Amino acid sequence: MRLRLAGAVLLSAAAYYVYLPLPTGVCEPWKLMLLDALFRSFMKASDVAHALGVCHRLHLLNQVVSWLEVIEARSSPVLHVTDSTLGGIPTRVFQPKGGKRMKRGIIYFHGGGWALGSGRMRSYDRLCRKMAEDLDSVVMSVDYRLAPEAVFPDQYHDALGAARAFLSSQVLERYSIDPQRVCVSGDSAGGNLAAAVAQELSSDDTVTVKFKAQALVYPVLQALDFYTPSYQQNQAVPILYRHYMARFWLEYLGADRSLESLLLANNHSSLDQPAIGASARSKLDWTALLPPERRKHFRPVLKETGTLGVMGVVPGLMDVRAAPLLAEQEVLGRTPKAYVMTCEFDVLRDDGLMYVRRLQDAGVSVTNDHYEDGFHGCMVFAFLPMMSGVGQRSMDNYIRWLDQNL
């Protein structure tokens, strides 16, 4: 009887911890709850380890990720898979063994808030394998450096260096990649890097081979407004909570975590900040850039006065290499045709939607693939054990777009 009672209490406690009220419409909510419970547990454990001085919170998280997810490079009857380098940056290469002599080429940057993850993770390995097989393409998944050891612009420089090497005649010839059919892609923080790289290389006249396409999957593109409608609507929706995103930005920009409350209050982008002019504000004015159905009933949060000096301490907040949404119109107009995936239940939804509008206004052909039941990170959950319906649909449609446009 006591064992049954103890078991019932433990089950109740577990259910209470796992259960999280989610918005109506989220795809397979119980799977998302379980995933979130695991992620929250690891985040709390890492915070405890950090507070006790055992290790940096990000080191523990990456240790867990490596233990659970990182796998060796394994070739198959149809793919040659190797761990190599690209411009000196560790890269996993997926190369089809048959098919056409000249291949399409894709360089991919993984997500993880510029601080977590690896292209050698099982989920990214599976994604890149499927891309390589279905598209008969060479896929190169880049392992850029991570915070806290690396901070902006280190990750950007790694991504840019790898992309330059990818587009070089030596790499294109070695892997039989068609220089007319090359793409840069990434998800979340990797989508940020892909967008920044696309902007830089499209405007660099010394680069003779240009990307034909950019494919951005729920990209993070700005850190000046943490009160966009999607930040307000989805602030408590897993797996990327609003305060998590602020922490990732501070880690990436090498700033003190004590600034988190300032970012979350929009004190860093108040109207009295001399570093933020009218031109910069117009580039993320969601009242003008978002369609009415996404603005809904939400109102902007603009502080008249804030904390002066934040931009001086964290200049990366205004650096277009870190925040591609702040790019000038003429820069955007030179970038290649774009695919931008967005999810309704994602704090970053409006970053992507504003970028879609700004690219369109600059004359770039854009496909916005929006998932009304999607959540942040859903595309990498297209495989077992956490397979989700929206994960499978989003991955299939992403690959279909690449097939039709690359």
Q: Is 346 a catalytic residue?
A: yes
Q: 64-69 long-range contacts, Cβ below 8 Å, gap at least 24?
A: 65/116, 65/117, 65/118, 65/121, 66/118, 69/118, 69/121, 69/122, 69/123
Tokens encoding 402: 């690449």
Exposed / middle / buried, residue 38 (Cβ in 10 Å: 0-12, 13-18, 19+) = middle
Query: Of 137, 188, 202, 388, which one is the catalytic site residue?
Result: 188
What order do you get walking across the sheet with 79-86 strand by strand? 79-86, 89-96, 137-142, 103-109, 177-187, 213-217, 337-345, 366-375
**Burial, 194: exposed, middle or buried (Cβ in 10 Å; 0-12, 13-18, 19+)?**
buried
Question: Which of 36, 187, 225, 346 is flagged as catalytic?
Answer: 346
β 213-217/337-345 pair status: parallel
Residue 56 among the catalytic residues: no
- Note if 110 is an active site residue: no
Catalytic residue among 141, 373, 376, 388: 376
Compute the distance between CA of residue 402 and CA of residue 217 in angstroms, rounded to an integer: 12
How much of the chain is helix, strand and coil, in % rounded to 5?
45, 15, 35
Largest interatomic CA distance in the chain: 77
Active site members: 188, 346, 376
